[in-house]
């Protein structure tokens, strides 16, 4: 007859697998950093139009704030013309900003996918149904790669594994990077380790993870984390401004992810005007400057990367 293992035995087994047995309540300082020695960088989400990128750069120069990564076409890259994607990639390379493109058109890939649109089906996440939809996703990835983009958001473990194999075999450029999305729902060291093993280069844990959980994830993986410092109201509306120094210390290397608003569904629609997004992007950059100020006041030893560090997956241009 099987005898259940004690909690301490379970925790010891977890530790043998390279996972912390408990969350990091002591909040140890991360031993890791970005290649330039920095603890944190800035990520702005919501470049839905080319004008949004220009607005972001103008505001960043106004505040003298380095912006290292832009999450683009959150509504889906099929709402942006090929020429606009290429123009965006060229501009981003010139400014030293890494682009991470959200390919496709998000939740409307498959007219038969109804379960996810209801409350009890939502926890499955926006994973792709069937091989046809996986191939469509890859086809749109190819379109963006041809336009010069080298960073992509992924929210399906199977697609992550397939795309990583494509990168390893030279089917797509080897400098391509994959960022795991919050919509993939991973929020533990075990989940983070799975993603890293599947080829993720950076991950966005869910928005409500505590400092001890961030510390535990950091103990399990080396890839950067992208942590929500402010999030849309529909995700909880948290604004972790005064946790910024501790998040940078415990989770380094970490991207401060900035995405305020009412809801993802309300913001990321193709019929929302470019001008409205321009205003929101400027507000996001301002929040980034406030986070930098708070870190500098309380923990000046924590370094923010300069603009355009050498390890970014910058767009490729002709």
pLDDT digits over 140-175, tens only? 999 999 999 999 999 999 999 999 999 999 999 999
Distance, CA of 150 to CA of 173 (rounded, Å)? 8
Q: Answer yes or no: is pLDDT of 107 > 60.
A: no
pLDDT band at 123 (very low <50, low <70, confident <90, very high): low
42 membership: H or E segment, kind and range: strand 40-47
Q: Answer yes or no: is pLDDT of 93 > 70.
A: yes
Three-state secondary-structure class, residue 146: helix
* Residue of 110 and 232 predicted with greater confidence: 232
Question: Among 71-85, 106-120, 240-254, which range has the highest average pLDDT?
Answer: 240-254
Residue ranges of domains in the chain:
24-106+122-298
pLDDT band at 46 (very low <50, low <70, confident <90, very high): very high
Percentage with pLDDT > 90 across the chain: 83
Positive or negative, the CA dihedral 106, 318, 61, 272 is: negative
Q: Answer yes or no: is pLDDT of 88 > 80.
A: yes
Q: Give the CB-side neighbour count of residue 179, counting CA atoms within 13 A.
A: 30
pLDDT band at 109 (very low <50, low <70, confident <90, very high): low
Cis bond upstream, residue 173 (ω within 30)? no
pLDDT band at 266 (very low <50, low <70, confident <90, very high): confident
Q: Answer yes or no: is pLDDT of 215 > 90.
A: yes
Can you give the pTM of this predicted structure? Answer: 0.93
pLDDT of residue 67: 98
Distance, CA of 127 to CA of 124 (rounded, Å)? 7
Question: Among 67-81, 118-132, 258-272, 290-304, which range has the highest average pLDDT?
Answer: 290-304
Residue 33 has which token pair?
A: 């950093």
pLDDT of residue 119: 67
pLDDT of residue 118: 65
pLDDT of residue 106: 59
Compute how many other C-beta atoms are within 10 angstroms of the C-beta atom of residue 115. Answer: 11
| Least-confidence region, from 108-117, 204-213, 233-242 | 108-117
Residue 273 has which token pair?
A: 């005007």
Average predicted confidence (pLDDT) for the chain: 93
Percentage with pLDDT > 70 across the chain: 93
Q: Answer yes or no: is pLDDT of 108 > 60.
A: no
Homologous superfamily, domain 24-106+122-298: Aldolase class I (3.20.20.70)
pLDDT of residue 112: 59
Mean pLDDT to the nearest integer, 185-202: 97
Q: Answer yes or no: is pLDDT of 253 > 60.
A: yes
């Amino acid at each position: 007859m099987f005898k259940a293992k004690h909690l301490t035995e379970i925790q010891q087994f977890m530790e043998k697998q390279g996972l912390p047995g408990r969350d990091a309540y002591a909040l140890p300082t991360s031993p890791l950093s970005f290649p330039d020695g920095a603890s944190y960088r800035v990520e702005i989400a919501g470049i839905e139009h080319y004008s949004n990128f220009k607005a972001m750069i103008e505001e960043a120069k106004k505040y003298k704030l380095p912006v290292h990564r832009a999450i683009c076409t959150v509504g889906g890259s099929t709402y942006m013309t090929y020429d606009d994607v290429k123009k965006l990639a060229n501009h981003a390379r010139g400014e030293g900003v890494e682009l991470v493109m959200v390919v496709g058109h998000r939740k409307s890939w498959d007219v038969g996918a109804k379960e996810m649109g209801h409350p009890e089906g939502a926890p499955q996440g926006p994973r792709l149904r069937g091989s046809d939809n996986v191939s469509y996703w890859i086809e749109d990835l190819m379109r963006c790669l041809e336009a010069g983009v080298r960073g992509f958001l992924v929210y399906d473990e199977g697609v992550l594994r397939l795309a990583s194999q494509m990168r390893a075999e030279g089917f797509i450029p080897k400098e391509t990077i994959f960022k795991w999305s919050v919509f993939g729902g991973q929020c533990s060291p075990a989940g983070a380790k799975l993603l890293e093993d599947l080829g993720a280069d950076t991950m966005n844990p869910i928005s409500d993870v505590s400092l001890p959980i961030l510390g535990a994830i950091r103990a399990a993986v080396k890839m950067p984390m992208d942590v929500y410092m402010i999030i849309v109201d529909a995700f909880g509306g948290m604004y972790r401004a005064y946790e910024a120094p501790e998040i940078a210390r415990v989770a380094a290397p970490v991207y401060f992810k900035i995405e305020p608003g009412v809801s993802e569904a309300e913001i990321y629609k193709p019929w929302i005007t470019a001008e409205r997004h321009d205003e929101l992007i400027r507000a996001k950059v301002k929040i980034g400057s406030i986070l930098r100020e708070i870190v500098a006041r309380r923990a000046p030893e924590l370094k923010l990367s300069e603009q355009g560090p050498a390890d970014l997956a910058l767009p490729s241009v002709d």
